[in-house]
Amino acid sequence: MDEEVPMEPQVKLTTEEILLIKQAAQRLEAKFEGTFNAETVERHIIDSLTRLDSRAKFAAWMPVLIERFTHDRLIALSRLEVGTLDRPGVLFLCVHNAGRLQMAAGYLRHFAGDRVDVFTGGSAPGFGTNKVVVAAMAEEGIDVSQEYPKPWADEISRAADVIVSMGCGDACPIYPGKRYEDWELDDPSGQSIEAVRPIRDDIRGRVEALLVSLELTPVS
């Protein structure tokens, strides 16, 4: 980016963090070249920073979270505005976005590859993914350690074809024309890995059924 990005968060970012965020903007500009101009990318980077600002003092991984949140929002915008709807979009929603969503998204990305746009969001996202969940998914050969909790954005909700809620209740957004599923699952928070494994396996079965309903064959 040639111009200075006007980042003015309430929680002061370090010089290194600002540099990392600018580098993230450059990567996103390159990825979405021909779809969105640099100004659009920068505007969403700044807006994502503002939305996530209250979490900055807790998150050493703030630049990573901003990049991934902005990436998801730009993918959603491309689906809405540019018409890149050649594959289904699935949004997993819950409250903290720190366990069940990571398992569901991990399985869906693993089985569907790039044939599905996968989004996650929490109404009150936590500050890190459940370590026991990470360990349980590692047993399946799936790494969800970098799946940081994040909020949902309106454009992501509007861009999804299927919205799967996991206990977010009235906080879940409702949009006409969407397919909704409500998965009643135990919360893995504070549970041992022995208790998390059945939740993980339940989620795997539901994701496999979701793929069948989308007429997609899971990849091995």
Note the CATH number of domain 10-86. Answer: 1.10.8.1060
* CA–CA dist 88, 103 (Å, integer): 19
pLDDT above 50 for 3:
no
pLDDT digits (tens, 9 = 90+) for 185-195: 888 888 999 99
Task: State residue 202's pLDDT score.
Answer: 97
| Mean pLDDT score of the chain | 84
Residue ranges, CATH 3.40.50.2300, the chain: 87-220
* CA–CA dist 3, 7 (Å, integer): 12
The architecture CATH gives domain 87-220: 3-Layer(aba) Sandwich (3.40)
How many CA atoms lie within 13 Å of 60's alpha carbon, on the beta-carbon side? 1
Beta-ladder partners of 93: 121, 165
Beta-ladder partners of 178: none
The tokens describing 88, both together, are: 């289904």
pLDDT digits (tens, 9 = 90+) for 43-100: 999 898 888 766 554 456 778 888 999 999 999 999 988 776 678 999 998 876 668 9
Read off the pLDDT of each residue in 164-171 and give the average, rounded to a whole number. 71
**147: confidence class by pLDDT, cuts 50, 70, 90:** confident
Query: Burial level of 149, CB count in 10 A (0-12/13-18/19+)?
Result: buried
* CA–CA dist 165, 54 (Å, integer): 25
Read off the pLDDT of each residue in 178-201 and give the average, rounded to a whole number. 92
* CA–CA dist 85, 75 (Å, integer): 10
The tokens describing 71, both together, are: 């990436």
Q: Kindly report the pTM of this predicted structure.
A: 0.85
**217: confidence class by pLDDT, cuts 50, 70, 90:** confident
Is pLDDT larger for residue 133 or for residue 98?
133
